[in-house]
């Protein structure tokens, strides 16, 4: 069909082929679905908040379609915001929960992703393998149940107000000295300005955990704000090789646009949320976690990312703060460029810091303080980095935005505070067992 799908399928099939005749390890099915979602999000070019929403709903579908097979696990109906109903399997009938799960992932993805030929192809591969080992009546019944769950998740997702945010007028940014404005080199329109209005999934509302305030704006030399911008400026000018590596490692900007004459091209990278989903995948593959564990971890992590982004975005567009590049070019050095391309939305607070802190809380809850090696960025040309535990990684991700020249230190710290609160709340309230 097309080159892209070809490449992607090749990648997925390569993982599947050795045991094509057999069913892949059950947990591996879950990992492959999450890998697929990460890849398609990159191809589709979804912004980070929308990507997090996709991770959350896709894995919720997988979990809801499969948890019945695992004693002690329970439905999340009633636990999540506005999640009031989800189909139950028929009593006394035999199901293969892998089949249900694959069907639920596929159906949910059809309304979440754009390039669904890729996710449909993965479902086809999985179904073919499972059909060979599952009796036909069980297979059909399980698949139908998965489809029903997938549709229920579609309906649940549709109710969160996301579609309406896509039909709203473009956001008019206010004009003032402290206000955010589009940043070089692309001066792109503000990204997903209404994503803070979408219903949260696990926390009560986007403002449940307030963000520590920004530094009071001033353009006066010597003011606290000036000093904060100057710090970003100085840090970028005197980066150590390791700081540079850290900044690039955690860049996670899904789309970086570059120009060569008439030729315009986009760099694709994993999104911040995708980065953490991938960390979870690496850890679970190492630990050989079970299928239900994988579903639980991906789901909870997805909820954390989704709610953290929603909360962070609500604040970003409530108090649209000027980016360092704009401030520094205007008041300190008009030729300065940050190390990383400034993403197109207001500064306060750092989205990466917020979602990273939430993710670290959730992964620590799930796995404890484990050391791990993160190779997420290898396909993008960076090295692996090793961490003592998730919280250390989160701290590094947070400060990386200062090294990259795209945030003030306060923005990084404030985001980390809010994210950790969100993560802790989810760990305490969203019970899978």
Partner 1 sequence: MSLTNRARGWVLVMFITMACSTVGMAQRFIRLDPITTGVMFANHITESDSFNIYNDIYAYNGGGVAVGDINADGLPDLFFTGTSVPCALYLNRGNFQFDDITETAGITLKGICNGAMMADLSGDGLVDIYVCRRHASNMYYVNNGDNTFTERAIASGIAVNKSSTQAAAIDIDRDGDLDLYIVNNGEARRLGFLNPGENDQLFRNDGDNHFTDVTALSGIKDKGYGLSASVGDLNNDGWPDIYVANDFEERDKLYMNDGQGLFEETTMKHLPYMSQFSMGSDIADINNDGLLDILTVDMLPESHARRMTQIGGMSKYGPFFDSAQRIHNTLQLNRGNDRFTDIAYLAGIAATDWSWSVLCADFDNDGLTDIFISNGTKRDLGDQDVSYHVASERDLRNDAYKQIPTTRLRNYYFANTGTLQFDSRAGAVGLIDSVITNGAAYADLDGDGDLDLVLNNTDTVAFIYRNQTIEDGPEGHAFLRIQLQGRKLNKAALGARVDLYAGGLHLVREVQASRGYLSSVDPTVHFGLGATRNIDSMVIRWPDGFVNVLKDLAVNIDITVVENPTARWIAPAPPVTIFQEIPKTSIPFKHRENFYDDFKRERLLPSKFSIDGPGLAVGDVNGDGLEDVILTGAKYSPTQLFLQTATQQFVRDSLCGLEDITDAEDVSVALFDIDGDKDLDVLIVTGGNEFDIEDEELRDRLYLNNGKGVFTLVPDGVPTGLQSGCKVVLGDIDGDKDLDVFIGGRVIPGRFPEAPRSYLLRNDKGKLVDVTQKQGPDLSTMGLISHASFSDYDKDGDADLFVVGMWMSPKLFQNNKGSFKDVSKAAGLEGHEGWYNCVASADIDADGDVDYIIGNLGTNSFYVDRKNDPIDIVYADFDENGSVDPIMSYVPERVRMPARGKQVLQGHMPVLTRSYPFFRDYAVATTDDVLSKTSVKPIDTLYVRSFASTVLRNNGASGFSFEPLPDMAQLSPVMAILPMDVNGDGAVDLVMAGNFTGAEGEIIGYDAGIGNVLLNDGAGHFTDVRADSSGFVVPGDARNIASIPWGANKTLVIVARNNHRPRLFVVDRPRPKDRR
Min CB(257)–partner 1 separation in Å: 9
| Contact set for partner 1, span 374-403 (CB under 8 A) | 380-381
By beta-carbon proximity to partner 1, the closer residue of 188 and 417 is 188
- Check residue 45 for interaction with partner 1 (CB under 8 A): yes
- Check residue 241 for interaction with partner 1 (CB under 8 A): no
Q: Are the C-beta atoms of residues 326 and 347 closer than 8 Å to each other?
A: no
Min CB(98)–partner 1 separation in Å: 26
* 3-class state of residue 364 by DSSP: helix
Q: Which stretch in 183-191, 285-293, 312-320, 351-359 sits in contact with partner 1 by CB under 8 A?
A: 183-191
- Check residue 175 for interaction with partner 1 (CB under 8 A): no
| Contact set for partner 1, span 342-361 (CB under 8 A) | none
Burial of 241 (0-12, 13-18, 19+ CB in 10 A): exposed
Residue 373 forms beta bridges with which residues?
386
- Check residue 174 for interaction with partner 1 (CB under 8 A): no
How many residues bind partner 1 (CB under 8 A)? The answer is 40
What is the rounded distance in angstroms from the CA atom of residue 34 to the CA atom of residue 55?
8
- Check residue 4 for interaction with partner 1 (CB under 8 A): yes
Query: Which one, of 398, 395, 399, lies nearest residue 387 by Cα?
Result: 395
Q: What are phi and psi of 258, to 5 degrees?
A: -125, 160
By beta-carbon proximity to partner 1, the closer residue of 257 and 429 is 257
- Check residue 176 for interaction with partner 1 (CB under 8 A): no
Q: Enter the tokens of residue 430.
A: 């969203």
* 3-class state of residue 266 by DSSP: strand
- Check residue 22 for interaction with partner 1 (CB under 8 A): no
By beta-carbon proximity to partner 1, the closer residue of 117 and 389 is 117
- Check residue 373 for interaction with partner 1 (CB under 8 A): no
Query: H or E stretch including 162?
Result: helix 162-166
What is the rounded distance in angstroms from the CA atom of residue 176 to the CA atom of residue 287?
52
- Check residue 238 for interaction with partner 1 (CB under 8 A): no
Query: H or E stretch including 230?
Result: helix 224-237
Q: How far is CA 74 from CA 134, 361, 430, in A?
A: 25, 22, 11
Q: Which stretch in 43-51, 67-75, 80-88, 215-223 sits in contact with partner 1 by CB under 8 A?
A: 43-51
Query: Which one, of 129, 150, 120, lies nearest residue 9 by Cα?
Result: 120
- Check residue 245 for interaction with partner 1 (CB under 8 A): no
| Residues in touch with partner 1 (CB under 8 A) | 2, 4, 43-45, 113-116, 163-164, 166-170, 172, 182, 184-187, 189, 256, 258-269, 335, 337, 380-381
């Amino acid at each position: 069909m097309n080159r892209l799908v070809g490449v992607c399928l090749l990648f997925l099939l390569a993982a599947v082929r050795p045991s094509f005749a057999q069913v892949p390890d059950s947990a591996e099915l879950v990992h492959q679905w999450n890998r697929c979602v990460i890849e398609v999000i990159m191809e589709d070019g979804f912004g980070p908040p929308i990507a997090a929403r996709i991770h959350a709903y896709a894995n919720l579908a997988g979990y809801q379609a499969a948890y019945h097979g695992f004693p002690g696990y329970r439905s999340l109906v009633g636990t999540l915001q506005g999640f009031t109903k989800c189909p139950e399997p028929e009593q006394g009938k035999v199901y293969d929960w892998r089949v249900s799960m694959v069907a639920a992932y596929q159906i949910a993805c059809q309304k979440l992703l754009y390039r669904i030929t890729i996710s449909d192809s993965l479902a086809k591969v999985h179904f073919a393998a499972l059909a060979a080992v599952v009796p036909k009546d069980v297979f059909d019944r399980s698949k139908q149940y998965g489809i029903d769950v997938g549709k229920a998740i579609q309906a649940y997702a549709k109710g969160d107000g996301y579609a309406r945010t896509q039909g709203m007028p473009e956001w008019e940014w206010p004009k003032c000295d402290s206000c955010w404005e589009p940043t070089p080199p692309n001066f792109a329109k503000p990204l997903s300005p209404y994503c803070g209005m979408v219903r949260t999934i696990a926390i009560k509302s986007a403002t449940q955990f307030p963000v520590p305030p920004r530094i009071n704006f001033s353009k006066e030399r010597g003011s606290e704000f000036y000093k904060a911008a100057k710090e970003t400026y100085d840090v970028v000018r005197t980066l150590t090789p390791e700081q540079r590596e850290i900044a690039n490692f955690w860049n996670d900007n899904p789309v970086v646009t570059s120009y060569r004459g008439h030729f315009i091209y986009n760099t694709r990278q994993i999104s911040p949320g995708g980065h953490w989903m991938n960390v979870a995948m690496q850890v679970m593959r190492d630990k050989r976690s079970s299928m239900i564990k994988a579903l639980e971890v991906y789901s909870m992590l997805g909820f954390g990312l989704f709610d953290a982004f929603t909360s962070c975005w609500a604040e970003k567009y409530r108090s649209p703060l000027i980016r360092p590049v704009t401030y520094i070019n205007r008041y300190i050095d008009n030729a300065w460029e940050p190390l990383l391309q400034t993403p197109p939305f207001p500064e306060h607070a750092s989205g990466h810091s917020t979602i990273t802190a939430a993710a670290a809380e959730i992964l620590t809850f799930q796995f404890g303080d484990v050391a791990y090696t993160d190779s997420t960025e290898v396909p993008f040309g960076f090295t692996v980095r090793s961490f003592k535990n998730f919280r250390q990684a989160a701290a590094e991700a947070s400060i990386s935005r200062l090294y990259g020249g795209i945030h003030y230190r306060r923005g990084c710290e404030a985001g980390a505070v809010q994210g950790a609160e969100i993560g802790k709340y989810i760990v305490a309230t969203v019970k899978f067992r």
